[in-house]
Structure 1
Amino acid sequence: MKDIFNTATLCHTAGNPTAAKAAFRVLSEQDFANACDEIMAWDGYTPTPLVSLDGLADQLGVARIDYKHEGARFGLGSFKALGGSYAALRVLQRQLTTQLGRDASLEEIRSGEHREACAKITLVSATDGNHGRSLAWGCQRFGAPCRIYIHAEVSEGRAEAMRNLGADVIRIDGDYDASVILAKTEAEENGWFVVSDTSWDGYTEPPRDVMAGYGVMTREVCETLEQPPTHVFLQGGVGGLAASVAAGLRQYYKDISPRVVIVEPELAACLFDSAKSGKPTTFEIAEETIMAGLSCGEPSEMAWSILTEEAADFLTIPDSIVAPTVRLLANGETGDHVVEAGESAVAGLAALIAARQDPALSDTLGLDANSRVLLIGSEGVTDPAIFEAIMAGADHV
C-alpha cells in the first residue's frame, strides 16, 4: 500500500451508541417505504451496482469490502438524485394540496397534471453541487422554477450542470453555510420554498424527505448482501446521508446492524466536533477541502439526533489521501473492478485503507480478518475537469 496511507494522520473520537430509538422515530419505516414506492416508479429507475473489492480486501486483511457505486443514479452522477428531487415533489404536493383543498397525489404531479400550478411555486436551496443538481432535475421534471445558491469554491463545471437543468444559479463569496443562510433569507422575503438536506428549528419536513429518498440506496444494498456488514464507513457533510443509511441499516438488521464509523475531512469536521462535545457543534471552516460535497460546517440537527445514537466512531482524514484513493479505484490498482469516483465518494474507503495501516486504530475500530465493510460511493465523476486533474497526478484541485 502507498506510503501516503502509512503516514496519514487520522483523528478518532468515540461515539456513544444507545438504544437507537431515533432510527425508528425520526425516520420511520413508513417514511422509507413511501419514498421507495415513489422513486422506484420513476422512469429510468434501476438499482446501482454494489461492487465487491475483493483484491483490496485481501491486501487490507479484511473479509470483504462492498462499495455501493452511485455514479449512474438517474444520470445525475450521485446518490443525491434520490433525495432532492423526491423532497421537491413532496413540497409541491403539500403546497398543491393546500391550494386545491384536496389531496394532490405524487402521481398527479409526476405525470404533469398540475404543471401550470407548479410553475408558480419556486423552490430554492444551497448546495455544494450534487443536491442542487438533484433539485434542479426534479424541478425541471415537475415544472417548478428553481434557484440554487452556491459558494465561492463550487466548481464552474458543477454550476453549469445545474444551469443546464434549468436552474437559476447564484454564486456568493462566502462558504457553504453562508449560502444556506442566503437561500433561507431570500426564500422568506419572496415566498419561495426551501428544499434543504439540513434541518433547523422549525424546518424538518424537506430534510426528512431527502433522507427518506436516500433509503432507496440502502434498501438496494440490504437486498443484495447475503450477510450483514460488520462495519459501515459513512462520509459526513451535514450528516443526512450518514443518518439515513444508519437508520435504514438499523431498521433492516435490528440488533445485528453494523458498526457505524463516520468519516469527515479534517478541514470540515462538524460531526467529529459534535461527538466530542456531545451536542450539535459548528465547525469554523478556514480552508476548503478537496472533498467539496463534505465541506459543511454546521450539522443537521435531525441527522445528528440519529447519529448520536447510532455512530460508534468518528474519524477525520487529511486531504492528502483522497486523490490517491480516487486513482486506486479508477486504475484498478488492486485488480478489482474499475470504479470512476468523485472526491467525496472515497472518504470512507480512504479512511479504511489508512486505518488498516495503523494496528492500534484498527483495534479501536474493531477491524480484523473477519470484518465485512460496507462503503457508500456517493458520487461518480460529477466534475470531469477535476477528475482529469486528479488522474493526471494532482493531489490538490
Structure 2
Amino acid sequence: MGNEMKWIRNIKARLEDNKASVEALNIDEIRKVKNFHKSFPMYFETPLVELKNLAGYLGISNIFVKDESYRFGLNAFKVLGGSYAIGKYVAEKLGVDISDLTFEKMKGSDTRQKIGQITFTTATDGNHGRGVAWAAQQLGQKAVVYMPKGSSEIRLNNIRATGAEAYITDLNYDDAVRLSYENAKKHGWQIIQDTAWKGYKNIPLWIMQGYATMLLESIGQLKEKGIDRPTHVFIQAGVGSLAGAVQGLIAAYYKENRPISAVVEPNKADCMYRSAVNGKITSVGGDMDTIMAGLACGEPNPIGWNILDSYCDLFASCPDNIAALGMRVLGNPFSGDEKVISGESGAVTMGFLYAVTTNEKYKDVKDALELDENSKVLLISTEGDTDPENYREIVWNGKYPYMK
C-alpha cells in the first residue's frame, strides 16, 4: 500500500434520484433511542469540545469534536449500539415496545425469569465486543467474544474483565464474524453483530440506531453553542455502520440543507472507498494490518453502504500516519483549546482534516469539500486510548510520522 491519501467524490450524493430510505434514523426514532440510553444510571452526554484556535490555524471557522472516551466508562462509543440492540432484542422477547423498557426493568428479576439465560456473541476488534460484553454483564447474561489475529492483549483483557469469554483467533475480522455466527447457530447463542447479511438485518439496524444517540446529542450541543448546523461532518468507517448511522441521521434531520460529509478509512481496509470507486459493494481481504484496529473491516454492511452511496459527498482512503497525525494534533492543543485523548480509530478524521487544510498536494480534496473560512466542522473521536501502550508509542515517541 502507498503512503498517500486516495479519494473520490460522490457526485450523485447531491442528486435527488433513487435515495436510500433513512426513515429508521428519523429524529423521532432516535429520540426514542436516546431515551433508552438515558435510563442507564451511568448515562451522561459526552463532551463536545470546541477547538477554535486550531480552526483559525487551519483557516476555517470552527472545529467541534465529540469526545466518546467518556461513554459509560468504557472509553469508546460502541456500547451505544450493542446496548440498544440487546435492549430491542429483550423488548421483543417480552413483547413490549422499547419505550417501555428501561435499564432497571431489563436488570430486574422478573425480566430475567421471563427471558431466561442468554449467551450473546460477537466478533470485534475491541470496542464493540467490550460494549456487548458489558451490556450482557449488566443484565446477568453471558457473552462470548472473538477477536481477529493481531488484536491488542489490553483490549482482550478489558473484555474479559466483564466476565465474558474472549479469544484472539488466527482469523481476520470478517472471518471472525463468520466464526461467531457459526457458533451461535451451533450452541443456540444470539449474535449481536454490526453488519448485515441475508436473513440478518434487524440487529445491525438496531446497532446503527444506537450509535445515532451521540449525533443527536451533538446536534443539541451545537445549538447550545449557537450553531444551527455544522457545514461539514467527517466520519470514520469500518463496516460502515457508524458512518451510515451518522449520515442517515444527517440526511433525515437536515434534509436538503444537510452538511457536506466525508467518510475516512484506513487504506488497508478501505471497503467503502473501493465500493465508491466501483459503484457497487466491494470487499477487502487479507490481514488488514492497520493501526486503526476498530476500522479494520473488509466487508461493508449493506445497510450502511446504501445510505453512504446515496448521501456521502466524498470517500477517502488514508495511510496509518494520517491517524497518528490526528492523535498528536488532538493530544497537543493550542493554548485555549481543550486536549482530547483520541485513539487510532478515533483520530483519523482529525488527521484527514489537518492534512487537507495544510498540505498543498491535497488542495483538490479541500476544494472538493468546499472548506473555507466559513466552515464549521464536526468530528467524532470514537475512542480514547483503548490501547495505552500504543497511544504512547505514537504520541510520545513519534511512531508513524507524517511528512508533507
Range class of TM-score, shorter chain: over 0.9
**Residue identity in the other structure for 2:300:** P
Aligned residues of 2:288 and 2:297 also touching (Cα < 8 A): no
Residue 396 of structure 2 corresponds to residue 392 of structure 1 = yes
Mean Cα displacement is larger for which, 314-323 or 230-239?
314-323
What residue number does 1:274 align with?
A: 275
What residue number does 1:368 align with?
A: 372
What residue number does 1:24 align with?
A: 22
Cα distance per residue 1:197-228 (max 9 Å; x no partner): 11111111111111111121111111121231
| 3-state SS in 2 of match to 1:71 | helix
Gaps of 5+ in 1: 1-6
Q: How many residues align?
A: 387
Cα distance per residue 1:245-301 (max 9 Å; x no partner): 111122222221101101001111000011111121111244411111000000001
Aligned residues of 2:230 and 2:378 also touching (Cα < 8 A): yes
- Alpha carbons of structure 1 residues 22 and 334: separation in structure 2 relative to 1, 3 Å: farther
Residue 381 of structure 2 corresponds to residue 380 of structure 1 = no
Aligned residues of 1:89 and 1:142 also touching (Cα < 8 A): no
Aligned residues of 1:123 and 1:145 also touching (Cα < 8 A): yes
Aligned residues of 2:326 and 2:349 also touching (Cα < 8 A): no
**Residue identity in the other structure for 2:79:** A
- Alpha carbons of structure 1 residues 30 and 114: separation in structure 2 relative to 1, 3 Å: same
What residue number does 1:200 align with?
A: 197
What residue number does 1:63 align with?
A: 61
**Residue identity in the other structure for 1:312:** D
What residue number does 1:322 align with?
A: 323
- Alpha carbons of structure 1 residues 334 and 375: separation in structure 2 relative to 1, 3 Å: farther
Distance 1:94 1:168 in 2: 26
Aligned residues of 2:324 and 2:351 also touching (Cα < 8 A): no
- Alpha carbons of structure 1 residues 26 and 89: separation in structure 2 relative to 1, 3 Å: closer
What residue number does 1:93 align with?
A: 91
Cα distance per residue 1:140-195 (max 9 Å; x no partner): 11121111110112100001001001111022101111100100111111111110
CA deviation after TM superposition for structure 1 residue 32, in Å = 1.5
**Residue identity in the other structure for 2:254:** Y
What residue number does 1:9 align with?
A: 4
TM-score, structure 1 normalization: 0.92
What residue number does 2:312 align with?
A: 311
Gaps of 5+ in 2: none
CA deviation after TM superposition for structure 1 residue 119, in Å = 5.2
Mean Cα displacement is larger for which, 376-385 or 292-301?
376-385
CA deviation after TM superposition for structure 1 residue 386, in Å = 1.8
Aligned residues of 2:77 and 2:383 also touching (Cα < 8 A): yes
What residue number does 2:261 align with?
A: 260
What residue number does 2:121 align with?
A: 124
Aligned residues of 1:116 and 1:143 also touching (Cα < 8 A): no
What residue number does 2:249 align with?
A: 248
CA deviation after TM superposition for structure 1 residue 96, in Å = 4.2
What residue number does 1:35 align with?
A: 33
Aligned residues of 2:172 and 2:287 also touching (Cα < 8 A): no
Cα distance per residue 1:10-29 (max 9 Å; x no partner): 21112221438435234344
Aligned residues of 2:61 and 2:375 also touching (Cα < 8 A): yes
Aligned residues of 2:181 and 2:191 also touching (Cα < 8 A): yes
What residue number does 1:235 align with?
A: 236
**Residue identity in the other structure for 1:212:** Q
TM-score, structure 2 normalization: 0.91
Aligned residues of 2:22 and 2:307 also touching (Cα < 8 A): no
Distance 2:389 2:112 in 1: 36
What residue number does 2:183 align with?
A: 186
RMSD, aligned CA: 2.1
What residue number does 1:351 align with?
A: 352
Aligned residues of 1:322 and 1:343 also touching (Cα < 8 A): yes
CA deviation after TM superposition for structure 1 residue 376, in Å = 0.7
